[in-house]
Amino acid sequence: MTISTVAIEPNLDPRSARQLARDTRKHEKEAQRRATSKGATIAAIIIAFFWTIPTFGLLVTSFRPPADTQTSGWWTVFLDPSFTFSNYSAALTSGGTALTLWESFLNSLAITIPATMVPLCVAALIAYAIAWIDFRGKFVLFVAIFALQIFPLQIALVPLLSLFSRGLTINEVTIFPGFDLREVDHSFATVWIAHAIFALPLAVFLLHNFISEIPSEVIEAARVDGAGHGQIFFRMIIPLSAPALASLAVLQFIWVWNDLLVATIFAPSSSLPMTQSLASLSGTWGNQWFLQAAGTFLTIATPLVVFFALQRFFVRGLLAGATKG
């Protein structure tokens, strides 16, 4: 017996197709018109202009000779232009602390990169488990993690500092006895752990909201094909969650890079970040603030590179779910 398969094609009138295309374009234009406003655009341009003036003045000051910065304002550069790169070379080889700005720059990289990657990896695993693995109490766990966002990090500084200085003790059993993390030279472990702890609640919350929106049919199809949780997570969840991961990576990188409080408390004196050296780069009486202007732009260069490198994923992550329906 022969079984034949007949493909049934939808009977779509060409005029209906053209009408459907016209309606689609009409709805797209209407949505674009509602999402944009000339008044809001003009206001945003005006705000951006006035917001940029101090930054532009700081940039001009960073290139002016030290003698000119002490006698005239930065706006006089348009009448008597005079520029030099000596401020940047001097800023890199000097610092208000025992470290130079270049050494602090390397410390900032050593702090920021792991402190960004570790909470991302841990938060992605926790978010996937809460979203797609059935276990008792996962809703309570998610609510508890979300509730941790209300606690300011300042209240955890002293307990964490005490924990790191005494060693971790669980049920009267001391792990790493006599091991003081703060006494380990060139150690960034305390800063990594502190930043990871402070970043996890928000990271788990955001990633869970994104991962839980992945269609269940995709996950079920992978399970039918014999994929386990590890294969689903690494081969499906991670690629599909790339926009959310990139968005969170940009925010966490900028937060850790600009941090001064956590690094000052937990990092040893030989591992202080760039923000610590920059804070006292202008000298005792502020007579070298042109060096601080140069150091400021050296500080913001790295976050700008990271942001523009991940800008495409960052925008996709922010707009994820905004065009549903």
Region of poorest pLDDT, from 12-21, 27-36, 104-113: 12-21
pLDDT digits (tens, 9 = 90+) for 124-175: 999 998 888 888 888 888 888 888 888 887 888 888 877 777 654 444 444 4
CB 306 within 8 A of CB 235: no
Residue 39: pLDDT over 60: yes
Place of tokens 């970043």: 199
pLDDT above 90 coverage of the chain, percent: 6
Question: Which pLDDT score is estimated for 122?
Answer: 92
Residue 15: pLDDT over 80: no
pTM for this structure? 0.71
Question: Which pLDDT score is estimated for 217?
Answer: 83
Mean pLDDT of 308-316: 70
Q: Tell me the sheet residues that pair with 175.
A: 168
Question: Which pLDDT score is estimated for 7?
Answer: 43
Q: What would the two tokens of residue 158 be?
A: 């002293």
> Among candidates 318, 302, 287, which has minimal Cα distance to 116?
302
Q: What would the two tokens of residue 291 be?
A: 């060096």
Residue 270: pLDDT over 50: yes
Question: Which pLDDT score is estimated for 173?
Answer: 42
Question: Which pLDDT score is estimated for 172?
Answer: 43
252 φ/ψ angles, rounded to the nearest 5 degrees = -70, -40
pLDDT digits (tens, 9 = 90+) for 123-136: 999 999 888 888 88
Per-residue pLDDT band at 183 (split at 50, 70, 90): very low
> Among candidates 112, 117, 63, 135, which has minimal Cα distance to 255?
112
Say how far apart CA 37 and CA 31 lie, in whole Å.
12
Mean pLDDT of 63-90: 78
207 vs 160: which has the higher pLDDT: 207
Per-residue pLDDT band at 117 (split at 50, 70, 90): very high
315 vs 323: which has the higher pLDDT: 315
CA terminus-to-terminus distance, the chain: 46
Mean pLDDT of the chain: 76
Mean pLDDT highest for which of 65-69, 298-302, 318-322?
Answer: 298-302
Domain 85-319 sits in CATH at 1.10.3720.10
Question: Which pLDDT score is estimated for 20?
Answer: 56
97 vs 118: which has the higher pLDDT: 118
Per-residue pLDDT band at 219 (split at 50, 70, 90): confident
- Domain range list for the chain: 85-319
